[in-house]
Structure 1
Amino acid sequence: MFTMARSRRDFTPEYKDEAVKLVVTTGRAVATVARELGINEATLGRWVMAFKARNETGQAEVTESERAELLRLRKENADLKMDRAFLKKASIFFAREASDTNVLRSN
């Protein structure tokens, strides 16, 4: 017998944060919240365990959305550094070219 495999769903960091908050702040069972949200109980359980592990290690609470934003900002920062390096090299090139042109004109 053939069964159709379900496609893997991707959840936004904000969605994960809200689901974990429902479990942590209300004190309801993971199974109950997972059933209400229509997600797998084990998935929500992993999100809650990861949240609790982060808090037990004394780390400041960094939400999934903050983590995603941090990754985006790091990539953007790296891109800006590359742009800056390119512009710096270009300005040096054009400054040399301009000074060479001025030397030739004065002769």
Structure 2
Amino acid sequence: MSGSKYPEQFRKDAVDMVRCSDRPLAQVARELGVNHETLRLWVKNADRADAAAADPTTAGLADEVRQLRKQVAELELEKEILRKAAAYFAKEMGR
């Protein structure tokens, strides 16, 4: 969005105006001197960004799941090694 002729802060303020106002989006757009479709797109993009930020199933959890699965695989391998070692030593002690 860096190619926009409107500064980032102006766009954020415009979106806030739409969200906090009981006026229709088209009216807010007229008051700001912005095309109503442009303002609608800003609001839509802001809604998506807010939803992505609020959604805990994003990249952070995916990384955590990947890490935990790796840890589980390592622990299962360790458990199998210890089980075999315990069986071996039990057999040796039983002789």
Give me the TM-score of the superposition, normalised by structure 1: 0.50
- Name structure 1 gaps, 5 residues minimum: 1-6, 35-40, 55-61
Matched, 1:49 2:40: yes
Code of the aligned partner of 1:49? R
Distance 1:97 1:30, change over 3 A: same
| Corresponding residue for residue 87 of structure 2 | 103
RMSD: 3.7
Q: Distance in 2 between matches of 1:19 and 1:88?
A: 48
Match of 1:21 among 16, 25, 41: 16
State percent identity of aligned pairs.
Answer: 9
Which aligned runs of 4 or more in structure 1 are off by greater than 6 angstroms? none
Count of aligned positions: 82
- Name structure 2 gaps, 5 residues minimum: none
Instruction: Name which structure has the greater RCO, CA cutoff 8 Å, separation 6+.
Output: 1
Conserved 8 A contact 1:23-1:29: yes
When structure 1 is superposed on structure 2, of 20-29 and 79-88 the one drifting more is 20-29
Code of the aligned partner of 2:15? V
Code of the aligned partner of 1:102? A
Give me the TM-score of the superposition, normalised by structure 2: 0.54
Show the 5 A alignment for 1:55-94: 63-70=47-54, 73-94=57-78
Larger radius of gyration: 2
